[in-house]
Structure 1
Amino acid sequence: MSSHIRYNLAHNRTKENLDRFIPNRSAMDFDYAHYMLTEGWKENSISSPSKEAYRKRMKEVFGMNRSRILAFSNKPPAPIPCTTNQLDLDHAFVVNHRRRRIPQTSERTLDCPGLIDDYYLNLLDWGKSNVLAIALENSVYLWDASTHATSELVSISDDKGPVTSVSWAPDGCHIAIGLNNSEVELWDSTACKKLRTLSNGHQARIGSLAWNNHILTSGSVDSSIINNDVRVRGHVIETYRGHRLEVCGIRWSPSGRYLASGGNDNLLHIWDRSMAGLNSSTQWLHRIQDHRAAVKALAWCPFQSNMLASGGGMSDQCIKFWNIHTGACLNSVDTGSQVSALLWSKNDRELVSSHGFPDNQLTLWKYPSMVKMAELNGHTSRVLFMTQSPDSFAVASAGDETLRIWNVFGTPENTKPSKETAPEPFAHVNRIR
């Protein structure tokens, strides 16, 4: 052993209880160290007495075995799997806490006496002109979200009513009203004037409506789906037949090519309008039988044109995602509650669902992890209907004879209150009727 190493060991023993040991680079034998790293290990492994004495002395001085330095004392624990869900949860937590607060209470609550408690109807829609339409028994009321003014658009006679569906046209001025007697009325909301009645197509109530430019599609309890061209006298131009029971949900894709329809027969159909023939029944592109209850909730993804989200009723309670080109199920999430409606955010990869029994709540999800970002409670019975504001930030939900406005997807940048501005109180209660 070199004199430098013996000196430092003796010096360290003397000072071990007084101060920490700081090595002196000038006292290190780098040539010897380099030799031991490159060539010394090749020598005969039989230890000499001097080497054994040295190792024993090192144990006594440092209280450790050199062979265990930088080695695991036990088998290293298995790493905690970092799933996509966890990554997205962390990301959602950071992003959403940095960018916005998700209110847990509705911003506004409106009383809606006479709201029909029927899961298969569609009685609420928010138009491009920022006006909400809601059907209460035989009447349709309009609530201007900008001015908070309420007006009655129409009251239907008992032999035609009640109103079973409402849907704003893309222009935000005209509205379609489906009736219990199988007719559809078109109204000019600005002039409060009925423009025409569409009949001779269905044989029973119209529970669902959807627009595709000038094409108004209606779904009925008679299980048929009809495309109506509202510009022409002979308005029935295509009929889709495939459902066995009431059609309770229909949605056109943003491109206007594909139609998704869901029914009380637990079936989900995808229809390709390019395959439609004039005045003929059209074969579906996909028939999907994975849901175990009525399929009412349908929402086309705004950032992935070939993806559709669907939600099932009480015996299913699942949100499923579909590739409509192949018909494959991309994911399925058990929500634990009846799904009545689905809406996508237009600004973030988020999805909100409304629920009936047993939870009666709205749930905000992060896509694609489907981690819950927020649960919004307030309704005292099942949430039957849900629609989205024109700017896509707010949603309206209806159930328990109330209409509630929720700031789910954030606030537009140009309307965000400054830090100095006190927030407006949440619980405004107005009476529609």
Structure 2
Amino acid sequence: MAHFGFENDISDTLKLDVPITNAPISRWQRKASASNPSSSALSPGKYANVSLNISSKTPCKTPCKTPGRWKATPSKMGADRFIPVRNEKQMEMASFLLSKKARPKEDGVSAALLEQQKTWSIALNGCNVEEARILQFSGKPTVNPDSQHNSLKSLYSHTMTPMSNKKTRHISSTADRILDAPDIRDDFYLNLLDWNSRNVMAVALKDSVYLWDATQGNITHLMTMDNEAEYISSLSWAKEGNYLAVGTSDCAVQLWDVEQEKCLRSMNSHSARVCSLSWNSHILSSGSPSGQIHHHDVRVAEHHIFTLHGHSQEVCGLQWSPDGRYLASGANDNLVCIWPRVAQGRTDITKPLHSLSLHKGAVKALAWCPWQSSILASGGGTSDCHIRVWNVSSGSCLSSVDTQSQVSALAFAPNYKELVSAHGFTHHNLVIWKYPSMAKVAELNGHDERVLNIAMSPDGSTVASLAADETIRLWKSFEVDPKKKAKDKTPISLHSAFTRSIR
């Protein structure tokens, strides 16, 4: 029996859940006592009956002001850590939502029944099962008080405005290409550049005419005058692009077949140089320093069919409207005249429909609006510097812009419904204007001397400018977005009566 009693004493001694009265205090008890000096020290015999509340404060090694003490990090709502709560009910709900099959909504269910089902679901599950979602935060973040405003939180938590799908148009400030134009004649009243519907540009350099194929890049020398003292004073392409009219300083108008590189005929009716030309089907109109405008029917031998008298000085600008109903003429007498189309055999036209006299300088720059056939833009010379937009039906001036520079040429850009103006003294540049507001869109600078003429490419994407600095600059400022649908274009017939009947 004594043997069994000795074993029981040893077993009681080795039990860990019984306090050991004579053991030294453990390390964790010393640390707890040091961090909580207000509490009474634990005696070896009483520590088992004392409950240490150490979960309310997380010991950290952040030094505080009092030496020898450690600052405790308070546990508050909205701290820098998020500890998710995953209780059993939430796990069961997630498992149910993942495993359930989507049921089609039943028709004819009353709103009262749906509201009752929602109430039952919230009471039983703590949320509406039909609206419950997995892996998604619910609720909004708490709003900081005004005194604790966090600018970074406001920056990254507000709803961003969706980016606009509209692309910003880029207009290059430099020319896309530069061509040499040596021996160009620096004369404001001449028209030495034109671009046809076949993408071929014609330019007159002194006494010669050159053709530049913008598609292939080829250059063709078309003609040179016999007399070196004479020079080319005007150029104009026929609508089909296969015939070129050339006005010269020796009073002649030559008609050239550019495919055959052959002069078809020379028409003489003026008494001085021919500085402006414009086509209207088979009728070719020409202007001269006498102030007269001659109509030529290129199909017949007696080509001179009519003469218009409305200007007192040199006619330096001529443009037929796109529909062929009106002819606009500008001259050194500061007038813009609007003439009707001359019917065959009619001889009673003695004065223009409108004689517009608001300009105070020579009017060379004329341009008809391609999408509004009754709208005409005109530009004045150095003493005027204004661009004016006219309604030729009523003869009224719709708008006027002071450009502060000589206006030498105008052209409409149909791709963006804009107006391009070329300037001499003092700016020597091109300006793009938004039509009809006439707000300035961009300035194209690069020429060192005044710009004499401009021409628009057949696709409307590029404008060419000829200047006295002996360069031709190509400005690709009106390219259409490639994603934009191309409009249907009526093919040009090359077998018109005009093409078949030239003699």
Q: What is the TM-score of this pair, normalised by structure 1? A: 0.71
| Aligned-residue offset at 1:108 | 0.5
Q: Tell me how far 1:278 sits from its aligned partner.
A: 3.8
* CA shift in 2, pair 1:107/1:96, >3 Å: farther
1:409 correspondence with 2:487: no
1:386 aligns to what? 454
Indicate the residue corresponding to 2:351 in structure 1. Answer: 283
Identity of aligned residues (%): 52
Match of 2:401 in 1: 333
CA contact (8 A) 2:415 2:480 kept: no
SS at match of 2:239: coil
Residue 105 of structure 1 is matched in structure 2 by: 174
Query: What residue identity is the alignment partner of 1:315?
Result: S
1:238 aligned partner: 306
Q: Distance in 2 between matches of 1:382 and 1:246?
A: 21
> Which residue number in structure 2 is paired with residue 120 of structure 1?
189
Alpha-carbon shift at residue 255 of structure 1 (Å)? 1.0
Q: Which has the higher contact order (CA 8 A, sep 6+)?
A: 1
> Aligned pair 1:180/2:256, yes or no?
no
SS of 2:279's partner is strand
Q: Is the 8 A contact 1:239 1:279 kept in 2?
A: no
Q: Which moved more, 1:133-142 or 1:214-223?
A: 214-223
Partner of 2:362: 294
Task: State how far apart, in whole Å, the 1-side matches of 2:164 and 2:452 are.
Answer: 31
Change in Cα spacing, 1:104 to 1:238, as seen in structure 2 (3 Å) is same
Aligned residues: 322
Match of 1:218 among 258, 264, 286: 286
Cα distance in structure 1, aligned partners of 2:473 and 2:434: 22
Q: Aligned equivalents of 1:258 and 1:359: distance in 2?
A: 32
* Residues 61-107 of structure 1: per-residue CA shift (max 9 Å, x gap): xxxxxxxxxxxxxxxxxxxxxxxxxxxxxxxxx99982531111111
**Is it true that 1:397 corresponds to 2:465 in the alignment?**
yes
SS of 1:206's partner is coil
Asked if 1:166 corresponds to 2:209, the answer is no
- Cα distance in structure 2, aligned partners of 1:95 and 1:247: 50
State the 1:230 CA deviation.
0.4
Q: 1:97 to 1:220 in 2, by over 3 A?
A: farther
**Take 1:163 and 1:280, find their aligned partners in 2: how far apart are those partners?**
33
Which one-letter code corresponds to 2:170 in the other structure?
R
Residue type of the partner of 1:235?
A: H
What's the offset of the Cα at 1:128?
1.1
Q: Could you say which structure has the larger radius of gyration?
A: 2
Q: Does 1:373 align with 2:441?
A: yes
Aligned partner letter, 2:225: I
The residue that corresponds to 1:355 in the other structure is 423
Distance 1:276 1:353, change over 3 A: farther
Matched, 1:322 2:390: yes
Q: Distance in 2 between matches of 1:210 and 1:95?
A: 45
CA RMSD of aligned residues (A): 2.1
Equivalent AA in structure 1 for residue 479 of structure 2: G
In structure 2, runs of 5+ residues without a counterpart are 1-162, 486-503
Closer, same or farther in 2 for the Cα pair 1:415/1:369, shift >3 Å? closer
Using a 3 Å threshold, how does the CA distance of structure 1 residues 276 and 298 change in structure 2: closer, same or farther? farther
Is 1:154 matched with 2:228?
A: no
> Per the alignment, in what secondary structure is the counterpart of residue 393 of structure 1?
coil
Task: Give 1:311's aligned residue.
Answer: 379
Decide whether the 8 Å contact of 1:159 with 1:181 is kept in 2: no
> C-alpha distance in 2, partners of 1:166/1:143?
14
Dislocated runs of 4+, deviation >6 Å: 94-97
Would the aligned equivalents of 1:128 and 1:170 in 2 still touch at CA under 8 Å?
yes
- 309 and 397 in structure 1: CA distance in 2 versus 1, 3 angstrom threshold: same
State the shift of 1:299 in Å: 0.7
1:233 alignment partner AA: A
Q: Distance in 1 between matches of 2:393 and 2:436?
A: 19
In the TM superposition, what is the alpha-carbon distance from 1:304 to its structure 2 partner?
A: 1.7
Runs (5+) with no aligned partner, structure 1: 1-93, 417-433
Deviation of 1:393 (Å): 1.3
Query: What's 2:338 paired with?
Result: 270
- In structure 2, distance between residues paired with 1:412 and 1:198: 45
Aligned mates of 2:482, 2:390 — CA distance in 1: 32
Cα displacement string for residues 346-377 of structure 1 (whole angstroms, at most 9, x for unaligned residues): 22221111100100000011112211111000
Residue range with higher mean Cα deviation, 262-271 or 301-310: 301-310
